Amino acid sequence: MDTPPHEAAASAARQEAARLTAKDIHGVALTWVDNAGIARVKAVPTARLAHAAQWGVGMSPVFDVYLSDDSAVTSAHIGGPDGDLRLFPDLGRLTVLAAQPGWAWAPADRCEQDGAPYAACQRGFARRMAGHAAQSGLELRMGYETEWVVTHAAEEDGAAEAPGRTRRYAGPGPAYGMTRVTALSGYVRDVLEALAAQGIDVLQIHPEYSPGQFEVSTAPAGPVAAADDAVLVRETIRAVSAHHGLHATFAPVVEHGAVGNGAHLHLSLWREGSNLCRGGEGPFGMTRIGEAFLAGVLQALPALLAVTCPHPAGYLRLSPSMWAGVFQCWGPENREAALRFIPGPAKDLQGANAEIKCIDATANPYLVAGAVIAAGLDGIDRRCTLPDPVSGDPAVTHAGVPRLPTSLPQALEHFRGSALLREAFGDPLYEAFLAVREGEYARLQHHTPEALVEDLRHRF
């Protein structure tokens, strides 16, 4: 007789708990990311991991309609104090946290009380969309870039007490300058060491454009795993920063008028071990299926922007000529296009991929992954083709290139009009997400740009 799934999970968790206990790990953080883009957590003692794996950990569904300031709205299907869900740790991603001694982490899947999948689980949405691709023999490989800014924690606390006070950014020097790496070499080393210890494959790390800003890129993985990685990378950077007396923020805008933090998504489409972004007869060697997928994403970008840039402050970052991808166009190696195609080295058929640039860290990475897959699969179904590529800065050289929405209300108008995304999300998740985005805008619509910046500095 087969072992019931819950009992099998408990058995596996007991073995994992013994391994963790031997390493002096006393707590396991179980996280999920809500519709406000906040990583929420419930933690269990290591000794309770088996119980959590068998029966789950209780958590109210109301957090699906929480805003980023912990106020709440309501939606057609979710809201109010009633009900409960169960958080089940994904033991396959159980990770000892290198920068938080005594702690481990696992992303959680959210289920109903009877163990059935919860319709509004964002991680489940990404898995479901990846499953739809797999039914057509397609595999998505994705990877998020993570940008952040570090300031000195003591001065950050003082600035919080005195809004408008100038902050001193950690790490002087120009963009991509070795000066900044030299000044913070111990910090950058510890970030790399912690990520490596947690099994995160780092492709590169470098100083970015703004003062105190860095970026780390991680290796591609499946859609769910890539979103898991994004969560783990951010929390690891946050912990390492704290150990160094620094404060890390991933907010899309840190200083109004300056270049902000993005969370760009790289993706490639595969079938039977072949990269469909190369080796074909489409533009720049794409296969026709690869082209159709990217064309579907490009066409859906105005509605997708509500998912990829879901906070009012994010639109302060989306400025022309700032490499933020604010125009609805694509181009090979064009960092001003919302969709940048990266052919890779001429003889490296495996390295070709596309980058979606209009994404920031207020976005739920699971929702981003799932929504992008839905748009791409729709492009394949409709046999979409890409328009002519754009070279140069569209703000200067291509007056006819459409601009993406310049505010959250504009993006939400496109989102409401997208039958594709409504069907992909399903009504419970769709309505809850929309309610949160509308509530976030209503809360902040009268804020000055400077007030928007301050509102997010310590939330992301």
- Give pLDDT tens digits for 123-138: 999 999 999 999 999 9
Q: Where in the chain is the domain with CATH 3.30.590.10?
A: 131-457
103 - beta bridge partners? 27
Q: Say yes or no to pLDDT of 1 above 50.
A: no
Dihedral, 237, 238, 240, 246 alpha carbons, nearest 10: 120
CB 247 within 8 A of CB 171: no
Q: What's the pLDDT tens digit per position in 232-266? A: 999 999 999 999 999 999 999 998 888 899 999 99
Q: Closest Cα partner for 63 from 115, 110, 126, 114? A: 110
Q: What is the pLDDT of residue 170?
A: 87
111 - beta bridge partners? 86, 117
Element (H, E) at 51: helix 49-55
Q: Where in the chain is the domain with CATH 3.10.20.70?
A: 5-116
337 - beta bridge partners? 327
Amino acid in the structure at residue 194: A
Q: What's the pLDDT tens digit per position in 329-374? A: 999 999 999 999 999 887 777 889 999 999 999 999 999 999 999 9
Distance of alpha carbon 78 from alpha carbon 122, whole angstroms: 14
Task: Report phi then psi at 330, rounded to 5.
Answer: -135, 160
Q: What is the pLDDT of residue 6?
A: 77
Q: What's the pLDDT tens digit per position in 368-412? A: 999 999 999 999 999 999 999 999 999 987 778 999 999 999 999
Q: What percent of the chain has pLDDT over 70?
A: 95
**Burial per residue of 216-225, b for 16 or more beta-carbon CB atoms within 10 angstroms, e otherwise:** bbbebbbbbb
The predicted model gives 272-285 an average pLDDT of 94
Q: Say yes or no to pLDDT of 205 above 80.
A: yes
Whose tokens are 């906040």? That residue is 38
Q: Say yes or no to pLDDT of 2 above 60.
A: no
Distance of alpha carbon 275 from alpha carbon 353, whole angstroms: 9
Q: What is the pLDDT of residue 64?
A: 97
Structure tokens at 349: 């058929």
| CATH architecture of the domain formed by 5-116 | Roll (3.10)
pTM of the full structure:
0.95
Task: Report phi then psi at 124, rounded to 5.
Answer: -65, -35
154, HSE (Cβ side, Cα atoms, 13 Å): 2
Q: Say yes or no to pLDDT of 30 above 50.
A: yes
CB 328 within 8 A of CB 401: yes
CB 277 within 8 A of CB 286: yes
Lowest-confidence segment of 74-83, 91-100, 104-113, 298-307 by average pLDDT: 74-83
Task: Report phi then psi at 251, rounded to 5.
Answer: -60, 145
Strands 85-89 and 95-96: unpaired
Lowest-confidence segment of 162-171, 382-391, 417-426, 439-448 by average pLDDT: 162-171
Better pLDDT: 100 or 2:
100
CB 297 within 8 A of CB 372: yes
User: Could you tell me the fold of the domain covering 131-457?
Assistant: Creatine Kinase; Chain A, domain 2 (3.30.590)
Q: Closest Cα partner for 169 from 50, 259, 35, 41? A: 259
Q: Which residues have a Cβ under 8 Å from the Cβ of 240 and sit 6 or more positions away?
A: 99, 187, 190, 191, 194
Structure tokens at 205: 């790390």
Q: Say yes or no to pLDDT of 164 above 70.
A: no
CB 169 within 8 A of CB 249: no
Q: Say yes or no to pLDDT of 158 above 60.
A: no
